[in-house]
Amino acid sequence: DTAVSQTPKYLVTQMGNDKSIKCEQNLGHDTMYWYKQDSKKFLKIMFSYNNKELIINETVPNRFSPKSPDKAHLNLHINSLELGDSAVYFCASSRTGQGNEQYFGPGTRLTVT
């Protein structure tokens, strides 16, 4: 069973479109994250949700809006896509508390043309 899953795995779309990436975890964790890995391979945190509440928002444009319908899901909606949004987006989850490792999904490669 996949612990953290993301859909779709690949997403190709045109500038200006609105798209969503879905993330689900079956680990019973109460904290979920979105990370972005750009073309230079740097991984950077975007958002973190704990028990459906936003606790990290790392200066991400407000075109990006995370939505957590329940503790097992954290979806990423992106409006008015731009070329610079092309990247690999990773979802992760963990238990709340110190020293708890994060489990990452397989990633979604977004290409904006």
Partner 1 sequence: DAKTTQPTSMDCAEGRAANLPCNHSTISGNEYVYWYRQIHSQGPQYIIHGLKNNETNEMASLIITEDRKSSTLILPHATLRDTAVYYCIVRGVSSNTGKLIFGQGTTLQVKP
Task: List residues near partner 1 by CB under 8 A.
Answer: 4, 31, 33, 41-45, 48, 50, 55-56, 58, 90, 92, 94, 96, 98-107
Contact indicator for 91, 77 with CB cutoff of 8 Å: no
Could you count the other beta carbons within 10 Å of the beta carbon of residue 57?
A: 13
Nearest distance from C-beta of residue 105 to partner 1, angstroms: 5
Nearest distance from C-beta of residue 69 to partner 1, angstroms: 20
* CA distance linking residue 62 with residue 30, whole number of Å: 24
* Residue with smaller CB distance to partner 1, 7 or 79: 7
Contact indicator for 101, 86 with CB cutoff of 8 Å: no
Nearest distance from C-beta of residue 49 to partner 1, angstroms: 10
Nearest distance from C-beta of residue 82 to partner 1, angstroms: 23
Contacts of 26 (CB under 8 A, 6+ apart): 1, 2, 3, 72
* CA distance linking residue 17 with residue 43, whole number of Å: 24
